[in-house]
Amino acid sequence: MELGPSFTRRTVMLAAACLASAGAHALADNTASINLAGVQLRNATPQSRTSGGDTIDPACFYEYVVDGMVRGRGTFTILSTLFPNPTPLADVLESLSPGSSAFLSGAGASPSGGTHPVVLVNEVFTGEQVLLGTTVTISLRLVVGIDANNTAYFRVEQPVITPAALVGYLEFTSGSAVITGEPPCAADFNDDCFVDFFDLDAFIECFEGGECPPGRSADFNGDGFTDFFDFDAFVDVFETGC
Ligand SMILES: [Ca+2]
Ligand SMILES: [Ca+2]
């Protein structure tokens, strides 16, 4: 069975299912953070930031959250008048493009079985609002992902915020984009992001003394012994799925 899109339900089930194997992956680097301080949301001014040396290991599923405080910039502009002080990003975006703050967090899956690169969001949001008597148009593409070198990135592409001279621009005073990979699923014994009979095969081979997938052990319940309690424990998790 494929690890489906019902992310929340899966997460709850995984909390129990993955405890047994958590130790084997305790050293995994499952999060990366991108500092957004100084990033501008400004007409015709694309932005790009990365997590630099803060890399993230491949996972099957990820969550991302973009959060921060922004303030309006530009002398006597609409945005600097409306938001003279640091204001939550979501509030500002909602005032410019209702509904757009929904893009600031979400979840995504690795399309290729737990390898990078992966794109978690690549969405354009648009809006047209009358602010201080002026019709303000906003359109920009938000992109968040992880490149082939396990570095997370955040980009604002094709930003249109007009009439630029009247509207001014926004600047992050603080904030971050954080990507977190979900811990591996215990039932996905061969770590290919699918739970299927190849996992059962892989466990049986490992259990019978053959080769085990990297980081996996036939001592499935982690009690220091490999016996039929492990077989039972694996079959239970396998039948539950992820
Ligand atoms: Ca698998
Ligand atoms: Ca055991």
Same domain, 164 and 81: yes
Residues with CB under 5 A from ligand 1 (ion): 188, 190, 192, 194, 199
Q: What are the backbone angles phi and psi of residue 94, rounded to the nearest 5°?
A: -65, -35
Per DSSP, what are the bridge partners of residue 31? 180
Q: How confident is the model at residue 113 (pLDDT cuts 50, 70, 90)?
A: confident
Per-residue confidence (pLDDT) for residue 27, from 0 to 100: 52
123 and 134 belong to one structural domain: yes
**What contacts 46, CB < 8 A, 6 or more positions away?**
155, 156, 157, 158, 159
Q: Is 241 found in the same domain as 157?
A: no
Q: What integer pLDDT is reported at residue 111 of this predicted model?
A: 76
More confident residue, 52 or 7: 52
User: How many angstroms separate the CA atoms of 242 and 62, rounded?
Assistant: 15
From ligand 1's centre to the CA of 189, what distance in Å? 6
Strand pairing class (118-131; 105-109): unpaired
Q: Omega of the bond prior to 163 within 30 degrees of 0, cis? A: yes
Q: Quote the domain boundaries for residue 233.
A: 1-28+187-242
Q: Both tokens of residue 98? A: 């209702």
Q: How far is the CA of 187 from the centre of ligand 1 (A)?
A: 7
> Does one domain contain both 162 and 194?
no
Please report, as a single letter, which amino acid is at residue 43: N
Give residue 28's pLDDT: 61
- Do 33 and 69 lie in one domain? The reply is yes
- Same-domain pairing of 198 and 172: no
Domains of the chain: total: 2
- What's the pTM value of the predicted model, to 2 decimals? 0.79
122 confidence band (pLDDT: 50, 70, 90): very high
